[in-house]
Structure 1
Amino acid sequence: MAVAEKMFCFQCEQTMKGIACTKAGVCGKTAPTANLQDDLIGALIGLSKVVPEGDTDSELARLVLDGLFTTLTNVNFDDPAIQALLDKVKAQAQNVEIYDMDKVWHNENEDIRSLKALILLGLKGMAAYAHQAAVLKYVDTTVNNFFFKALRLIGDDNASQDDLLATTMETGKVNFIAMELLDRANTEVYGNPVPVEVPLTIEPGPFIVISGHDLYDLKCLLEQTKGKGINVYTHGEMLPAHGYPELKAYPQLKGNFGTAWQNQQKEFKDMPAPVLFTTNCIMPVRKSYADRVYTTSVVGYPEMQHIGADKDFSPLIEQALELGGYDEPQEMTGINGGHTVTTGFGHDFVLKNADKVIEAVKSGDLKQIILVGGCDGARVGRNYYTQFVKESPENTLILTVACGKYRFNDLQLGSINGLPRMMDMGQCNDSYSAIKVALALADAFDCDVNDLPLSLVLSWYEQKAVSVLLTLLSLGIKNIHLGPTLPAFISPNILDFLKENFELTPITTAKEDLARILTPQM
């Protein structure tokens, strides 16, 4: 009898028993796939050791971005595709030695393991942002060079805890540069987002659903569907695309399909249309809709049709026309029964209206700004975020980023001083917008950002959330409430360090945390 292959993965919030997945990933990743991804990371570490420091050309940097991004949770489950990428890394230098990742995952010093994991998972999240910027020809040598520097340190068996801690904070600082780069790329190419109400109703006729984060893929799809009688609907983290002027100008971009990304297996079941996955978000594909799933970029799933770098979406267009869509309008709703959601409140809009926020704070109409952001997931306990927003008093302003908003983004919370009480700032990378607004408000009030009437309540699921958290910490932002559970890869000593130095706090209950946040100000 064959012995089942073992694996080790604790990079996401849903990891088995809050410790690690050792037989198969809760995400659907098999042990062979997990081990192949570890080999890919090990090869990238090996590559970083043979490339001269500072000599990282664009081709090598893009290879690192592709490799790291491929290993994020819910990105690539296709072993041949991962193997092909691994072979490309090996081909870059004849003497690339694959670093044994067990030296990281099972390091006898749990604090060293914790810090190396934080750096590596932060790099994975940063790679996603830098990758999307690179697609639009926006690159930054500081960001690219840092990937190699950090990978070399991860592969240094004699790295000190002090060096690792310093690099952990540096990962956050460089990720801020990467997020700013992507923000600049998106806004210069597609315009500054503007607030928009997005319908959840699906109109009759042929349509395509596009999921993920990559706005370039959406742009290509919109160009190719012009005049063909095919509507396009966003899904998951693609929702904020509706706020960009260059994208919302396409009349066939109609609305948003479904609710949170983790509900796709149920919501795609009887959908008479194809769906395109552009980044991380894909779950194990069910037979009920497997014939309608397409992947592109670094996304991969066994037996699914992959659209290459030419971005020829003809197969989706032909299938959409063949399937024909719904015969009658489908009145879909959000999780709380709402028929529309809003988005597009980026830093450009908020800062242009900062006087209203400042006036509301000074008048006492606005007591607290609360960022409720981060990833969604299936684990029990995430209803906390819905309860938190529902129970927040009328004199609080709720900012949102990332897909955790699907728990509550169809709620109607009213307004303060002419501004909606809930404003969605966009995707997870648009945490940059929230940070930029916070820093600008601190300047306006002539105070430290930690002295603002601002609190952060974050949910995490995968590695992009890790990179955003490291960015917040690197900027010295304190008093962050994190949940629904704490990362399995953070050791007790490192957790104590974060609690003592940054007041990082695990969430408790919505009622208790709201009382703790609001009492000092009210």
Structure 2
Amino acid sequence: MYCNQCEQTAKGTGCTTAGVCGKNNELADIEDVLIYALCGLAFFARESRRLGKLDQDIDRFVMKAVFSTLTNVNFDPDRFAVLIGRTVELREELKAQVAAAGGKVDFCHPAASFQPADTVAGLAAQGAALQFIPTLDNDENIRSLKQTLLYGLKGIAAYADHAAILGQEDPAIGGFMYEALTALLMQGLTIEQCVPVAMKAGAINLRAMELLDAGNTGTYGHPVPTAVPLGHRKNKCILVTGHDLRDLDLLLQQTKGKGIDIYTHGEMLPTHGYPELKKYPHFYGHYGTAWQNQHKEFPYFPGPVLFTTNCIQKPREDYQDRIFTTGLVGWPGVKHIDGKDFSPVIEKALAMDGWQENVDRGTVLVGFARNAVLGVADKVIEAVKNKQIRHFFLVGGCDGAKPGRDYFTRFVEQVPADCVVLTLACGKFRFFDKQLGDIGGIPRLLDVGQCNDAYSAVQIALALAAAFGCGVNELPLSMIISWYEQKAAAILLSLLSLGIKDIRLGPTLPAFISPAVLAFLVATFNIKPIAATPEEDLKAILG
């Protein structure tokens, strides 16, 4: 195996014997086979599109398949084997259709005719022989840009799949996915050829997040400021983690009137602000804070845990029987909900003790997406003009277990009292319960939402820039971004595609960025690593 797609990759360079995420050699190599097979399918999908034939079902399949290879989604090799088999079936079906229409089918790259092994062990051996990442290109800079494109593509696939679940699709996203997948296999490319494709990935991801925003708000309403309990109350209970609003909605519907409270964990926290979700009286509160404590927290939650869209390493054997997964998430030996009937989860909740007492741990505020913030834009603008608000900081992104992430907690704690912090994604759990007060009734800590709500944050910044008659880079706004996996890579590309500069990224820079590519990013966008201490960065930003 060779994998360096996440921030926690071994020794800051790459996992070669076992994944820090918990994936072993076999699983990592099989994931490479899936991406390779999808590249082969992409040749024919592009040709089919050239002939004017689009297939929405194939687009959706490819998105799901690419999404499944994110760092923390699927840990089940058998499910990858099914995806690989289906990829080749679709490729052959498309090939026949393209041939019948008089299109090109004689692609010379081996991926276009790849035949997968018929066992998991055989697939793993094929993946090991492929050495997919190290052989993307002999030039380390081209290889670096191709990896950036691939990891950004995985983030795009995640957001596009979420959006499609809610009925929001754009064929341009599928078209770009095929363009990107075939580009990965091209040899002899130059930096000048690769950079525009990476920037296009950022623009496409922004479109995917826009669609997801439309799906979320169109289905569940625009988030409104909402106080979410951090404690618990005496009752049966289920904990939901991940990102999928549709799964949460269905679970709320199916548990209505059954005497079960629903709690959120991780990126599900912002869902409490959606009117069509918060209307359920048994949608109670949020349990659990930081990513790295999930193994410690779940044993103390006296009900089943439902993972949607992403997960952690395989749960301990002593509580594996109360873990459930849905969608693309999977581990061997863990119960997967194949449809959307959550009866097994509900039955498990009713059989378990649930909380035996009421505990008050205070509340946190969520629901400050673009509608809520722009609804008081006049107050915000006036506060800036009156020098009540000196600066805005967007402090957000992914959380993780690697040391150094306490930087973000200390940064927020030291932000001056005349500054406002906007936050989003699971990185906020380093400081989401800090009591920072307000400025003229405007909370100093504004939770914009999930990672995909970077779209909302961008819209807030664009609206403020328009109000002040300047560009986003001229606003009193600084971005302090933490990253862990591939959705963060996609969001970073989106920000760069908008020309946003001076982003501080941490806790470490991506291992897949070569020195020359980093030099380009620094020269073009003034992107930089976070400093050794938050004090240094605050002094550099505020003077």
CA contact (8 A) 1:56 1:145 kept: no
From 83, 100, 113, the counterpart of 1:97: 113
1:152 counterpart = 2:168: no
Q: 1:483 to 1:291 in 2, by over 3 A?
A: same
Distance 2:54 2:139 in 1: 31
1:390 counterpart = 2:376: no
Query: In the TM superposition, what is the alpha-carbon distance from 1:104 to its structure 2 partner?
Result: 3.7
CA contact (8 A) 2:369 2:456 kept: yes
Amino acid at match of 1:512: E
Q: 1:101 to 1:420 in 2, by over 3 A?
A: farther
CA contact (8 A) 1:53 1:149 kept: no
CA contact (8 A) 2:255 2:346 kept: yes
From 8, 11, 20, the counterpart of 1:17: 11
Distance 1:33 1:246 in 2: 39
CA contact (8 A) 1:344 1:426 kept: yes
Amino acid at match of 2:9: T
Which residue in 2 is equivalent to 1:432?
Answer: 455
Query: In the TM superposition, what is the alpha-carbon distance from 1:323 to its structure 2 partner?
Result: 0.4
Distance 1:32 1:473 in 2: 35
1:171 counterpart = 2:201: yes
- CA offsets, 1:189-222, max 9 Å, x none? 0000001111111111211000000000000000
1:235 counterpart = 2:265: yes
Which residue in 1 is equivalent to 2:24?
Answer: 30
Which residue in 2 is equivalent to 1:518?
Answer: 542
Distance 1:28 1:303 in 2: 15
| DSSP-derived class of the 2:449 partner | coil
Query: In the TM superposition, what is the alpha-carbon distance from 1:157 to its structure 2 partner?
Result: 2.1
- Which structure: greater helix fraction? 2
Distance 2:323 2:396 in 1: 29
1:47 counterpart = 2:41: yes
CA RMSD, Structure 1 to Structure 2 (Å): 1.3
Query: In the TM superposition, what is the alpha-carbon distance from 1:59 to its structure 2 partner?
Result: 0.9
Query: In the TM superposition, what is the alpha-carbon distance from 1:279 to its structure 2 partner?
Result: 1.0
- CA offsets, 1:443-462, max 9 Å, x none? 11111110000100000000
Amino acid at match of 2:219: V
Query: In the TM superposition, what is the alpha-carbon distance from 1:329 to its structure 2 partner?
Result: 2.4
Deviates more, 1:56-65 or 1:177-186: 56-65
Q: TM-score, normalised by structure 1?
A: 0.95
Gaps of 5+ in 2: 96-111, 115-126
Which residue in 1 is equivalent to 2:437?
Answer: 414
Which residue in 1 is equivalent to 2:82?
Answer: 84
Distance 2:443 2:57 in 1: 45
From 155, 158, 180, the counterpart of 1:128: 158
CA contact (8 A) 2:404 2:507 kept: yes
Query: In the TM superposition, what is the alpha-carbon distance from 1:330 to its structure 2 partner?
Result: 4.2
CA contact (8 A) 2:399 2:484 kept: yes
CA contact (8 A) 1:261 1:281 kept: no
Amino acid at match of 1:87: G
Which residue in 1 is equivalent to 2:108?
Answer: none
CA contact (8 A) 2:173 2:204 kept: yes
Distance 1:247 1:175 in 2: 26
Amino acid at match of 1:518: L
CA contact (8 A) 2:2 2:133 kept: no
| DSSP-derived class of the 2:215 partner | helix
| DSSP-derived class of the 2:501 partner | coil
Distance 2:276 2:363 in 1: 21
CA contact (8 A) 1:213 1:279 kept: yes
Distance 1:103 1:215 in 2: 34
Distance 1:517 1:198 in 2: 32
Which residue in 2 is equivalent to 1:317?
Answer: 346
CA contact (8 A) 2:425 2:450 kept: yes
Moved over 6 A (4+): none
Amino acid at match of 1:102: Q
- CA offsets, 1:215-273, max 9 Å, x none? 00000000000000010001100111000000000111000011123211000123221
Query: In the TM superposition, what is the alpha-carbon distance from 1:278 to its structure 2 partner?
Result: 0.4
Distance 1:67 1:169 in 2: 23
Deviates more, 1:267-276 or 1:400-409: 267-276
| DSSP-derived class of the 1:105 partner | coil
Which residue in 2 is equivalent to 1:373?
Answer: 396
Distance 2:276 2:244 in 1: 14
Deviates more, 1:274-283 or 1:128-137: 274-283
Distance 1:358 1:398 in 2: 15
| DSSP-derived class of the 2:299 partner | coil
What aligned pairs does 1:45-84 form with structure 2 within 5 A after superposition? 45-51=39-45, 52=47, 54=49, 55-84=53-82
Distance 1:379 1:101 in 2: 30
Amino acid at match of 1:228: K
Which residue in 1 is equivalent to 2:255?
Answer: 225
- CA offsets, 1:246-305, max 9 Å, x none? 000011100001112321100012322100000123222112321110011010111001
Matched length: 506
Deviates more, 1:54-63 or 1:9-18: 54-63
Query: In the TM superposition, what is the alpha-carbon distance from 1:409 to its structure 2 partner?
Result: 0.6
Distance 1:34 1:229 in 2: 42
Distance 1:115 1:341 in 2: 40
Query: In the TM superposition, what is the alpha-carbon distance from 1:159 to its structure 2 partner?
Result: 2.9
Q: TM-score, normalised by structure 2?
A: 0.91
From 112, 136, 144, the counterpart of 2:142: 112
CA contact (8 A) 1:214 1:278 kept: yes
Which residue in 2 is equivalent to 1:279?
Answer: 309
Amino acid at match of 1:77: F
Query: In the TM superposition, what is the alpha-carbon distance from 1:507 to its structure 2 partner?
Result: 0.5
Gaps of 5+ in 1: 1-6, 334-338
Query: In the TM superposition, what is the alpha-carbon distance from 1:418 to its structure 2 partner?
Result: 1.3
Q: 1:268 to 1:330 in 2, by over 3 A?
A: farther
Which residue in 2 is equivalent to 1:270?
Answer: 300
Distance 1:513 1:281 in 2: 33
Which residue in 1 is equivalent to 2:230?
Answer: 200
- CA offsets, 1:132-174, max 9 Å, x none? 0111111111112111111111121233322211100000011
Which residue in 1 is equivalent to 2:105?
Answer: none
CA contact (8 A) 1:206 1:325 kept: yes
Distance 2:352 2:367 in 1: 32
Identity %: 52
